[in-house]
Structure 1
Amino acid sequence: MTVFRWLALGAWIIASPVLAQDNSRTPSHCIALAGDIDGAQFVHQARFDLNVAPDTVRIHYVAHASFLLSTAGGLNMVTDYTGFLGGAEMIPDVVTMNHAHGTHWTANPNPEIPHVLPGWGPFGVGIDHRLDLGEVLVRNVSTDIRSQWSGTEENGNSVFVFEVAGLCIGHLGHLHHEPNAEQYAAIGRLDVVMAAVDGGTTVDLPTMTRILNRLKSSIVIPMHWFGEYTLDQFLVGMRDNFQIVEVGGPALDVSLDRLPSRPTIMVLRPSWRIDTDD
């Protein structure tokens, strides 16, 4: 499938009616003044022999920039979807994609996936998504990327935000610049953010550090790192303002009442999705 057909698909997604809403989503505070959450407790590592608990989101780091987000209601969403999750026979309900490189999208997603959300539209125009599935609201904020001709493709990347279980979970995508004031406002408060920390292919580390200090998310999950050296370089620069936790696995269960009281970097170790029982 060509990029031009994908652009047409993106326009179709925008124009298509949204599914009937069942008003079951726990209200979030994404677009609001952020304050401390009384009674917050520490997040815990996910257990895959259990279903996702109520008001909880399971975040599984699959590979590179791809995460699987699973909800208590049984919805499964994949970020920067490449068409492959591992050995699991799963058809996600929602996939998001960015097209900076082939490791962030696929031209041939499974046609049985109900909602395919490309993070770009016609060149320089961008795209707008606001997909309300009742339990989850998925929206995006467009940012610029460097084009393949060393220029700039305005609005060619998307920061995707998932509002679910009272949480605001953001995926910064293949970010190539610090958001401006309008983009920061549109992104809003993020409880959890997945951030590319490669230090060059996306933004440099000082810029990403500045972004994360401004977002003040309770949980930062590093992604898009190429080996331990790259990851360690990021962690060293963040130690003054963030607690660092090596989770020891690929997944976390996160809920509003278990967010850490101090901004925390949760280091997940990517793993293909091979189990199908949870």
Structure 2
Amino acid sequence: MIRSIVASTAHALATGLALALAMPLAALPVATPAAAQADRCPKLVAKSPFIAPPGPRIVPAAYVGERQVGLTYIGHSTFLIETAGGVTVATDYNDYVRPSVVPRVATMNRAHSTHYSLNPDPGIEYVLKGWREDRDPVRYDLDVGDLWIGNLPTNIRDYQGGTIRNGNSIFVFRAADICIAHLGHLHHTLTEEDLGALGRIDVVLAPVDGSYTLDVDGMVEVLKALEAPLVIPMHYFNEGTLNRFLDRFASSQYTIERRESPELVLSRETLPMKPTVIVLPGSLY
């Protein structure tokens, strides 16, 4: 069942970089080179054999049918992804905003404590850190039930203006022939090599705060380059910041939709035919 009860009302961003997480990586699969990821999300045009509705359908949250993927915005940078086979993932899993269910998979990023947890629920089967402490790139190529998970390492800034190499990961999730990319705490635009490694992306979960992550113009550049039919904003703190991004993006000939429910059920057939931004309600702390 897709549920979106926010686990905490805490409103704080950490001011330091994350410390090493006390969890082993040895048991986690090591991926093949990043370029192989494109084989999992091949470049295709999102087309339907019939006329599709203008955006993803909202169906009862208790049902994720065959060839569908459930997506719930919990808040900040955390989404709950659910497959038809019952695999659940919480993105940027942290101690402030969590889904009400214990996910089978949790992904994390390094930038602030609102993107990782030092005390993940022990019931989580796979805890996937988006970085390594030695700054070498971490790679995932992981099948969990009917879900595939890969990643593309990217760099982040430190508080002195320097660069922490491979300090963030764009996590990619594929189920029901839909590829979802969570950009994490992205701090720079993407190269042609990055875009080739990511392959075809259908849904982008994009940080749009315009300051802590990439500036608005840079984020628009990234989203245009990815050419995904569906963009879902996250990491924007307040309506003013969100509206600044939407105003900029609306001028890019994207359709803008606001939904009252934080839940979507996606299928390949109902991806929007025109590039669309869908705003889902969630915790803004």
TM-score of the superposed pair, with normalisation by structure 2: 0.84
Aligned-partner residue type, residue 126 of structure 2:
H
How many angstroms does 1:188 deviate by? 1.3
Q: Which runs of 5+ in 2 are unaligned?
A: 1-17, 32-37
Matches within 5 A, 1:71-150: 71-83=83-95, 88=100, 90-150=101-161
Whether the 8 Å CA contact 2:95–2:114 is kept in 1: the answer is no
Other-structure match for 2:261: 249
Aligned-partner residue type, residue 114 of structure 1:
E
Whole-Å separation in 1 of the counterparts to 2:199 and 2:85: 25
CA displacement, residues 217-266 of structure 1 (integer Å, 9 cap, x when unaligned)? 11100000021110000111111321011111211110001111101000
CA pair 201-81 structure 1, distance change in 2 beyond 3 A = same
CA displacement, residues 125-176 of structure 1 (integer Å, 9 cap, x when unaligned)? 1201111124010010000001244311111100000010010011000000
Whether the 8 Å CA contact 1:123–1:153 is kept in 2: the answer is no
Give the counterpart of 1:220 among 226, 231, 242.
231
Whether the 8 Å CA contact 2:30–2:141 is kept in 1: the answer is no
Other-structure match for 1:185: 196
Whole-Å separation in 2 of the counterparts to 1:199 and 1:87: 25
The alignment partner of 1:158 has SS state of strand
Other-structure match for 2:8: none
The alignment partner of 2:225 has SS state of helix
Other-structure match for 1:204: 215
How many angstroms does 1:3 deviate by? 3.7
Whole-Å separation in 1 of the counterparts to 2:255 and 2:154: 29
How many angstroms does 1:31 deviate by? 3.8
Other-structure match for 1:13: 28
The alignment partner of 2:193 has SS state of helix
Matches within 5 A, 1:26-45: 31-38=41-48, 39=50, 41-42=52-53, 43-45=56-58
Whether the 8 Å CA contact 1:31–1:186 is kept in 2: the answer is no
How many angstroms does 1:114 deviate by? 0.4
Whether the 8 Å CA contact 2:43–2:200 is kept in 1: the answer is yes
Whole-Å separation in 1 of the counterparts to 2:142 and 2:19: 22
Whether the 8 Å CA contact 1:139–1:161 is kept in 2: the answer is yes
CA pair 86-119 structure 1, distance change in 2 beyond 3 A = closer
CA pair 127-45 structure 1, distance change in 2 beyond 3 A = same
Aligned-partner residue type, residue 29 of structure 2:
I
How many angstroms does 1:177 deviate by? 0.2
Aligned-partner residue type, residue 47 of structure 1:
P
Count of residue pairs the alignment pairs up = 257
Other-structure match for 2:60: 47
Other-structure match for 1:262: 274
The runs of at least 4 consecutive aligned structure 1 residues that moved more than 6 Å come to: none
How many angstroms does 1:10 deviate by? 2.9
Q: Percent identity?
A: 37
CA pair 123-14 structure 1, distance change in 2 beyond 3 A = same
Whether the 8 Å CA contact 1:144–1:156 is kept in 2: the answer is yes
Whole-Å separation in 1 of the counterparts to 2:117 and 2:105: 14
Whether the 8 Å CA contact 1:83–1:110 is kept in 2: the answer is no
Aligned-partner residue type, residue 206 of structure 1:
D
Whole-Å separation in 1 of the counterparts to 2:30 and 2:186: 26
